Each structure stands twice: as C-alpha cells, then as structure tokens.
Amino acid sequence: MKDHALRAPLRAINWNRLEDEKDLEVWNRLTVNFWLPEKVPLSNDVQSWATLRPAERELTIRVFTGLTLLDTVQNTIGAPSMMPDALTPHEEAVLSNISFMEAVHARSYSSIFSTLCLTKEVDEAFRWAEENPHLQAKARTIVEKYAAGADPLKRKIASVFLESFLFYSGFYLPMYWSSRAKLTNTADLIRLIIRDEAVHGYYIGYKYQRGLEKLGAEKQQELKDFAFSLIFDLYEIESRYTAELYDGIGLTEDVKAFLHYNANKALQNLGYEALFPPAACEVNPAILAALSPDSENHDFFSGSGSSYVIGKAVATEDEDWNF
Amino acid sequence: MAGGGDLVYFSSASGNTARFAARLGLRALRVPISPKDTMPAPARPYVLICPTFADGEGRGAVPKQVIHFLNDPDRRAGLRGVIATGNRNFGATYALAGRVISDKCNVPVLYRFELAGTDLDISRVLAGLNKFWGTECLTMA
C-alpha cells in the first residue's frame, strides 16, 4: 500500500477537468468574495465604543475572543483535517481557501481589538477564553471529531456545526449593537465573516451529502444519529455559554432563539430536517434585519397581500438574458 | 391549487430547493442542472421557485439554467410570480434572485425563504399559492 503510494505519480490539479462542478462554483464564489479587515474603516467605531458601559465592553471583547478561538481551530485543525478526505483535487483546493479565510477571520478580531480596546482588557479576555469551561468544552468537542483516524463524514458534520451553529452565540452581539446603531463598522466586518461561513457550511454540508449517498442505509442512519446527538450535546454547552455571557444584559432568551434558528440551518446544510420547532426559532426581527440589511422585505404571501414592491435596479448579467 | 397553475423549480446538486418542492406535495417541474437534459414545458401558468447564487456584489444571482429557461418567450409567457430562496447570512443579497427575476420579467416576488425552508414556510407557501391562483383566476376572468 505504502509502496504503491510512493510509486503512484504525483498529480497536478487540472481545473479544466472537473469531477464535481460544485468545486469550481464554490471556488469562484469564495475568491470573488475575498476580503481583508483593512477594507473596513473600524476606526469610525471608536466614538461608539466609548458609549458602551464597561460591562458591555467586557462582554463584547469576550464574545470576539471566543469567536477568535473557533476561527483558530477551523484554520489550523478543522479545514486541514478534511483535506486528506477530499474526493476531488479541487475540493482540496477549496479547503485550502477555507483554511486561509479562517485565518483572516481570526486576524480580523485582533484588528477590532487594536482599534477599539486597551491591551490590558484584551489580554484579560484571552486569559478568560483559556479558562472558560463552556468555551473550552465546545472547542474541544469539535476538535475531538477532527482527530486523526476519525470518520471523514463525522469530521464534516463537526465542521458544519462549527461553521453554521457554534459561531452564532457570538455573531448575535454585533448584530444586536448594529440594530441599536452602535459599532456599525464592526458589524460590517462581521457580516463579511458571516457570509464566508455560510459558503463554508453550505459546501462542506454538500460534500457530506455526496459522501453519505454512497453508503448503505444502516451506516446512513448511524451518521444521522451521530449528527443529532452531537448537535444536542453542543446545544447544551451553548446554552450554558450563552447564559454566562448574556444573563448580565438580559439577552439570554433572545440569543437562544437565534441559536435554535441557526441549529436548524446547520442541519439543513447536512440535508436533515429541523430539530427545533418554529415557535422556538422566532428570532428578534431587529437581529434578522441586521443580518440582511437592505434586502427587500415585502412579499406577497407574508405581507397584507395587497401590494408588492419591485426593488431598485440590481446587477443582472445582461449578456445572458436575451430579452 | 387545483385548476390554478403549475410550479417550476430549479435546485442545484445541494438539493435544498428540491427538498422544499417535494415537501410541498404539489406537482412541480424541475429545470434540469445539465444543459443536455430537456427543459420542462409548462402547459399552464406557473410560479417559479428559484435559489440565489449571488456573489458579494450581487452578480450571478440567478442560476444560468433558470436564465436559459426564461429566455424562451413561450416559457416566459407563463410566468406569474417568483418564490426566491437564499440565506440571510448573505446580507443584502439574500434571495436576490427573486428581485432580479421580478425586475426582468415584471412579475411579483411572492415569498422568500432560507435554504430548504421550514414547516412554517411550507404552510405559508401552500396557503399563499392557493390564494394567489384564486386571485389570478379572478384577474383572468
């Protein structure tokens, strides 16, 4: 086996011979969306930062430090651990992009800190992150699933849960501040991260489904049971993490609705049905509006039904439409 | 929506929109992923369910396959409304395909939902389509 591997030719990647069109589609999307934190004028938030109370500042720094930890895990452990499992060479290339963008995300939080915060406050938060049992438990639970010798599809499940679920107890806060016209430039940066994570969760979930369809019914059921059991365990940890962070400003229940909503979306990325019922997923409309600002809000079925608004002219690919 | 109209949808290999269409339990025609496969030819007016694939600037929102489908004047003539899917995490471009098709074809965006939709989305779309085709019949009469 090893001998064979040594004698097999090393193969160059050929993007003109695709085995899976999705690889190129996602590669193009990720590369077009590439960004760096320097693009966002974070210093415009300095005055807004000064209006936050000390406890609100501490909370914000802690939340961002927790997010940095998850990005670090995904950059250095998660994405690289999935590369040997890739079904196509193009998938490996996409994973290398995902890995690098996670490093950009982790780096961005440090840009926010150096722009807005005192070194002492930030150092304290990094100590807190190492000592907080809930944050450590969630990161450790995921890292265990990435370990050498782990089932490649279980790795993908863990990765989708990290990208599409575990970040959201943190992403809630900048969306909340933004809905109150605070730290709006920081929120712009976080939206860029959220956009990337959505592509990552979608793509890895898609690859999971491609792997799953090759297996027999029994193995498929085992993986589904694994996924639901894992999200349940992670939800337990997230609930405690959320309460510890947000009880002080009375937002825990609001954050939890957001967690339920995102857990369901993470499961959808894997091709599974929702876990939490609609009543548990009624996310604060201000948070939803902060997530997708300027996106047309009127539609025929959920409005009064009396009217609809045709949006402003948007970028269409006119060369493709021939009418 | 008996006697009303058809549903046409596109779903990429990720299958989110296909799963939603299957759960609706209505007759639905699929625009194929591969250009080698035959396009559906809806015999009655129809509502289109279309996912969004926009980049950060909003480019490429409507899948090529759907554009090809709508480029045909006979097929386009039957379009009455669009239901757009997407992910709020894409911010301002959430479900943008609906707005692009609405502007291009002058039909209303009927509804928007995320990924494969929730039970609430299913019941809203079923009720909405019922009402919509009712309204359409009155308008046509």
Residue A191 touches partner B, C-beta closer than 8 Å: yes
State residue A310's pLDDT score.
43
Among B7, B10, B14, which would you mutate to test the A interface (most chain A Cβ atoms within 10 Å of its Cβ)?
Answer: B14
Mean pLDDT within B79-83: 97
Identify the band that residue A320 occupies on the pLDDT scale cut at 50, 70 and 90.
confident
Q: Is the pLDDT of residue A25 over 60?
A: yes
**Contacts (Cβ under 8 Å, ≥6 apart) of B75:** B39, B41, B42, B69
A206/B13 Cβ within 8 A:
yes
A269/B contact by beta carbon, under 8 A: yes
Contact between A66 and A135 under an 8 Å Cβ cutoff? The reply is yes
The rounded mean pLDDT for chain B is: 92
Residue A240 CB partners (closer than 8 Å, separation 6+): A134
Q: List the single residue in B70, B118, B125 with the smallest CB-CB distance to A278.
A: B118
Chain B residue with CA closest to A198: the answer is B89
| Statement: residue A302 has pLDDT above 90 | no
**Region B62-73 average pLDDT:** 96
Say if residue B3's pLDDT is above 60. no
> Three-class SS of residue B36?
coil
Cβ-based contacts of A191 with chain B (< 8 Å): 91
Residue A53 has pLDDT above 70, yes or no: yes
CB A29 within 8 A of CB A21: no
pLDDT of res. A305: 38
Q: Is A109 a catalytic residue?
A: yes
Q: b/e string for A37-73 if b means 16 or more Cβ within 10 A?
A: beebebeebeebbeebeeebbbbbbbbbbbbbbbbbb
| A295/B91 CB distance under 8 A | yes
A293's tokens: 């600002």
Long-range contacts of A7-11 (CB under 8 A, 24+ apart): A11/A89
φ, ψ (nearest 5 deg) of residue B51? -75, 165
Q: Is the pLDDT of residue A69 over 80?
A: yes
Compare all CA atoms of chain B with the CA of A294 and give the residue at the minimum distance. Answer: B92
Cα of B4 to nearest chain A Cα, Å: 16
Whether B99 and A311 lie within 8 Å, measured CB to CB: yes
Query: Which residues of A, range 90-129, sit inside 8 Å of B by Cβ?
Result: none
Q: Among A104-118, A167-181, A245-259, A301-315, which stretch is predicted with the lowest mean pLDDT?
A: A301-315
The pLDDT, as a whole number, for residue A294 is: 74
CA A176 to chain centre: 17
- What is the distance between the alpha carbons of residues A315 and A317, in angstroms, rounded to a whole number? 7
Find the mean pLDDT for residues A207-231: 98
Query: Which residues does residue B9 pair with via DSSP β-bridges, in sequence order?
Result: B30, B49
Asked whether residue A224 carries a pLDDT value surpassing 70, the answer given is yes
Mean pLDDT value across residues A186-207: 97
> What is the model's pLDDT at position A304?
42
pTM (predicted TM-score): 0.92
CB-CB neighbors (< 8 A) of B100 in chain A? 314, 316
A273 pLDDT more than 80: yes
pLDDT bin (cut points 50, 70, 90) of residue A307 is very low
pLDDT at B2 over 70: no
pLDDT surpassing 50 at residue A133: yes
Structure tokens at B15: 């299958």
Give the whole-angstrom CA distance, residue A204 versus residue A201.
5
CA distance A216 to A193: 36
Could you tell me what percent of chain A has a pLDDT over 70? 92
The residue behind tokens 């040997």 is A84
**For residues B137 and B141, what is the distance between their CA atoms, to the nearest angstrom?**
6
On average, the pLDDT of chain A sits at 93
In chain A, residues with a C-beta closer than 8 Å to the C-beta of B55 are 28-29, 32-33
Closest alpha carbon to A62 in A241, A254, A240 = A241
**Nearest to residue B131, comparing CAs of B108, B99, B100?**
B108
With CB atoms and an 8 Å threshold, state whether B103 touches A313. yes
Share of chain B above pLDDT 90, in %: 84
- Choose among B14, B64, B114: nearest Cβ to A265: B114
Q: Is residue B102 within 8 Å of residue B108, measured between CB atoms?
A: yes
Contact list, A287 vs chain B (CB under 8 Å): none
Q: Which of A19-23, A35-39, A286-290, B4-8 has the lowest mean pLDDT?
A: B4-8
For the record, the structure tokens of A113 come out as 């800190």
Q: Does residue B141 carry a pLDDT above 60?
A: no
Write down the pLDDT at residue A2.
Answer: 52
For the beta sheet containing B28-31, the strands, ordered from the edge strand earlier in sequence to the opposite edge, are B28-31, B6-10, B46-51, B79-86, B109-114
Band of residue B140 on the pLDDT scale cut at 50, 70, 90: low
How many residues in total does chain B contain?
141
Give the mean pLDDT of A22-44. Answer: 96
